[in-house]
Structure 1
């Protein structure tokens, strides 16, 4: 018999699912006091919470029988994931359950600012009847630009197309086939989307890549009179820049559900001065239906986890070390580094990825693939990715993973080679572990190279002529950036060379632009491992 404690309010739908299992005893205490929780947690196999209950080290230290933590929602900020992992406690959540709710709220904001519904409402409450004052615009015939064509973005696209809009989208991690199925044109650059769109709506995760993605440069490129909606994450937008362009008259309407600081501080609230702005306090998931879906999903995930079944929404999962795994820990680390490098170097928009494992380590191809996928997906997803959920997430994104086993290689007995394909392009990355302990990236595309997969790495493609390194070193020195190591690979003398500089500090966009201005340098990209 499994005992499940629910410490926050969830929909009855989830409680009924748990109660329907004869092997589960449910204890529903949504108002339990912290002191009491600490006293009784030792008796439970699972705990289901929302954001009110902190699942911290103090609680986990007392949870003698705890096997599963279920977060009824997406965010897990209230859960100490590291401590849970250390104790072998699985943490699951309920991603995707609020997709329709978030999409519908986006449409509500969009229609509100197009038709000035919120302003007409306020005016009528004052006793006025000003029909001519609230002239609006139609969604029909507009070009809607969607940044992020994931679950929510796709639902917004469907609704906009149903209203007669032309929909374009920018998402470097979504295959064009998905855009074709939705009748959405996937554009190659964010700049193209911004310049073409009458309405721009954000539906991308907040990651290191997307933080501050919409700033002064992007607002400048937008059409005058653009409609701008953000129901994704506040940190994606530079609100200071938004305020400045609001004062310049850039926007016809603004719809916001999220902010970089919540509740917004006085600095952010300056944006609220805009006449046609529609606001809501981060309520994208606040529908009865959404809460039912969340409760249903978390109940199902907790039951699967308790029974040892595959859990698609695992936030963490400590890898079980069995016989032989200790000998390949360096290769597992290498696989994760290869994945992380690939997604930063070539993007995540691949239809097929072949994971080829050579030598005796090939008997452990399953965990090697899982670690590779964890590294590959982590930089591009706004959720915790681990070796349990990574294969599921890859499948969800339409990536076909091919596993190949080969005998010992000619150059290295043990070798991991990744081949990623999309739209006729092919990227290859591979590596080994020296002495079975030191992970090394040894191959990028057709170039043999030797890279320690740690820290800041500046990848270059340049013409193989004298003087390139001197020019590059001058720029880095001028910006007080030290070169910790340098590796060069080339296929043919005087052709194109591949360089890898390991740096002590990160390079910003301005420095990258300066490097690309060197005539002999064809490509430059910063990789963080």
Structure 2
């Protein structure tokens, strides 16, 4: 009999499913301490948690029979994934269970903003009756700007289409094929969305590229009648700038379900009539709670029985039995994917992976998966791994072709990724020296040689005397230490790869912007 411990409050349907499955038993023990959980966890084959229970290193000291941990929800910040991986414990989540709930909440907030539902309700409850004061607006024929066309963004588009809204879509990474079916006007320009949208909603992860994506500058581009809804992540909108914009009627309204800090210490938005705030209710529906409970039970039981592994956060891309060359090249392929993600500009149209030399004689399936993980991860708010990498790529309309060639001119073997976007073509080639030393040896045709680890800055510049010194001076002035340097030259231009001890701050970036011959630079964090 497999025993599954339920450590947090879970919808009864998930518990019932476990108990109704032959060979499984659910044991509910909620609110237990770290000490108690660590003392009993080894007696269970599986563990289901939500956000309250902390699965710490101490909890995972003696895993015993434990085979998997399932999070009934998306976030896994409360689970020590590195320690679980070291102990061979699979960690899974349930990213699909809240899609419709989050999309519906977005629409609910949009409608509530449009029809002044909350202030009108409060007025009437206090004894008032003023229909003229709360005249609203229809969604029909209005322009909806959607930033981020993943699962939730596309669900919002489907719902908004039913209101006959004109939809503009932006995604910096790729465009799902089904977006065309809903008549979405795809744009490459966020500025175009800001200027034209009557309603704006974003469904993107929070990372260094999206933090403060919407600040004073973007808010001032918008129509004075525009309204913003954020059910994605706190920090995507600069809250100080949004408050000022609402207070000064720069835009007509905003609805927030997520915040920089949760719960927010500053409750100022509650004072504004043109703002609507809810306490992170995007996934808070009975159906969503049932959905994640059932999904958590299903994925955990499947993994325990040795069935298909779904939604695994820490599933390895390469099996332990794989040849050494495949293990090494898989690690390299993931780093090439990560580099390509920061190198390329525009949305991906086509991907081709080339395997040359001795690697072409091997089963290279893990390399494709590893490359996909590196390429995709920074663009998703779920962990990308061997289980979902292919699905997520297909969902976003990305197809990956593969070419094998036993000939390799300069190396015994090499791996090349070529990506085409609407802006241009990009290529990265990597190889292994002595079967385990990873090197990037070509970027967009520029010959380089650097190890893909730590922080690497790539700079494209006109090949003139003094440019290397100017770049070094700009970095040194702001205490950015350079470890190694590699330069490739062709056609009057050069590509420089610098390993940095710390990332570029705003001052260093400004100094590099002022180096006349530098056309473009970017930093890739390989860790």
TM-score normalised by the chain length of structure 2 = 0.92
Do residues 369 (structure 1) and 373 (structure 2) align?
A: no
Structure 2 equivalent of residue 274 of structure 1: 272
Change (3 A) 1:347 1:13: farther
Measured after TM superposition, the shift of residue 307 of structure 1 is 2.4
Measured after TM superposition, the shift of residue 411 of structure 1 is 0.6
Structure 1 equivalent of residue 110 of structure 2: 110
TM-score normalised by the chain length of structure 1 = 0.92
Structure 2 equivalent of residue 522 of structure 1: 519
Structure 2 equivalent of residue 491 of structure 1: 490
Cα deviations by residue, 1:418-445 (Å, 9 ceiling, x for unpaired): 1223458432111112222221111112
CA distance in 1, matches of 2:23, 2:86: 27
Measured after TM superposition, the shift of residue 408 of structure 1 is 4.6
Structure 1 equivalent of residue 224 of structure 2: 224
Q: Which is further off, 483-492 or 274-283?
A: 483-492
CA distance in 2, matches of 1:38, 1:56: 9
CA distance in 1, matches of 2:116, 2:130: 12
Change (3 A) 1:128 1:247: closer
Equivalent of 2:357 in 356, 359, 364: 359
User: 3-state SS of the aligned residue for 1:54?
Assistant: coil
Measured after TM superposition, the shift of residue 35 of structure 1 is 5.3
Q: Which is further off, 53-62 or 347-356?
A: 347-356
Measured after TM superposition, the shift of residue 514 of structure 1 is 5.3
Contact residue 86 and residue 318 of structure 1 kept, 8 A: no
User: 3-state SS of the aligned residue for 2:351?
Assistant: strand
User: 3-state SS of the aligned residue for 1:428?
Assistant: strand
Cα deviations by residue, 1:61-83 (Å, 9 ceiling, x for unpaired): 23300101111111112211111
Contact residue 19 and residue 26 of structure 1 kept, 8 A: yes
Q: For 1:245-284, list aligned pairs within 5 A.
A: 245-266=245-266, 269-284=267-282
Structure 1 equivalent of residue 480 of structure 2: 481
Structure 2 equivalent of residue 96 of structure 1: 96
Change (3 A) 1:347 1:4: farther
Measured after TM superposition, the shift of residue 200 of structure 1 is 1.4
CA distance in 1, matches of 2:129, 2:265: 34
Change (3 A) 1:518 1:223: farther
Do residues 432 (structure 1) and 427 (structure 2) align?
A: no
Change (3 A) 1:387 1:208: farther
Q: Which is further off, 434-443 or 516-525?
A: 516-525
User: 3-state SS of the aligned residue for 1:57?
Assistant: coil
Do residues 305 (structure 1) and 303 (structure 2) align?
A: yes
Measured after TM superposition, the shift of residue 327 of structure 1 is 5.1
Q: For 1:291-330, list aligned pairs within 5 A.
A: 291-318=289-316, 322-323=320-321, 325-326=323-324, 329-330=327-328
Q: 5+ residue gaps in structure 1?
A: none
Structure 2 equivalent of residue 190 of structure 1: 190
Measured after TM superposition, the shift of residue 383 of structure 1 is 2.1
CA distance in 2, matches of 1:57, 1:462: 47
Structure 1 equivalent of residue 18 of structure 2: 18
Measured after TM superposition, the shift of residue 393 of structure 1 is 2.7
Cα deviations by residue, 1:78-111 (Å, 9 ceiling, x for unpaired): 2111111001110111002111111111111111
Change (3 A) 1:324 1:261: closer
Measured after TM superposition, the shift of residue 301 of structure 1 is 1.0
CA distance in 1, matches of 2:13, 2:255: 32
Structure 2 equivalent of residue 418 of structure 1: 417
Q: Matched residue pairs, number?
A: 525
Contact residue 317 and residue 369 of structure 2 kept, 8 A: no
Measured after TM superposition, the shift of residue 131 of structure 1 is 1.1
Contact residue 339 and residue 372 of structure 1 kept, 8 A: yes
Q: 5+ residue gaps in structure 2?
A: none
Do residues 341 (structure 1) and 339 (structure 2) align?
A: yes
Measured after TM superposition, the shift of residue 508 of structure 1 is 4.3
Equivalent of 1:503 in 475, 500, 504: 500
Query: Superposition RMSD on alpha carbons, in Å?
Result: 2.4
User: 3-state SS of the aligned residue for 1:458?
Assistant: strand
Structure 2 equivalent of residue 50 of structure 1: 50
Change (3 A) 1:34 1:452: closer
Do residues 458 (structure 1) and 449 (structure 2) align?
A: no
User: 3-state SS of the aligned residue for 1:51?
Assistant: coil
Contact residue 91 and residue 316 of structure 1 kept, 8 A: yes
Change (3 A) 1:458 1:61: closer
Change (3 A) 1:261 1:327: same
CA distance in 2, matches of 1:217, 1:203: 20
User: 3-state SS of the aligned residue for 2:269?
Assistant: helix
Change (3 A) 1:463 1:96: same
Contact residue 315 and residue 389 of structure 1 kept, 8 A: no
Measured after TM superposition, the shift of residue 519 of structure 1 is 4.5
Structure 1 equivalent of residue 83 of structure 2: 83
Measured after TM superposition, the shift of residue 282 of structure 1 is 0.4
Cα deviations by residue, 1:303-332 (Å, 9 ceiling, x for unpaired): 221122332311112466534644554433
CA distance in 1, matches of 2:387, 2:164: 41
CA distance in 2, matches of 1:323, 1:348: 38
Cα deviations by residue, 1:198-234 (Å, 9 ceiling, x for unpaired): 2211211112321222222322322333211111111
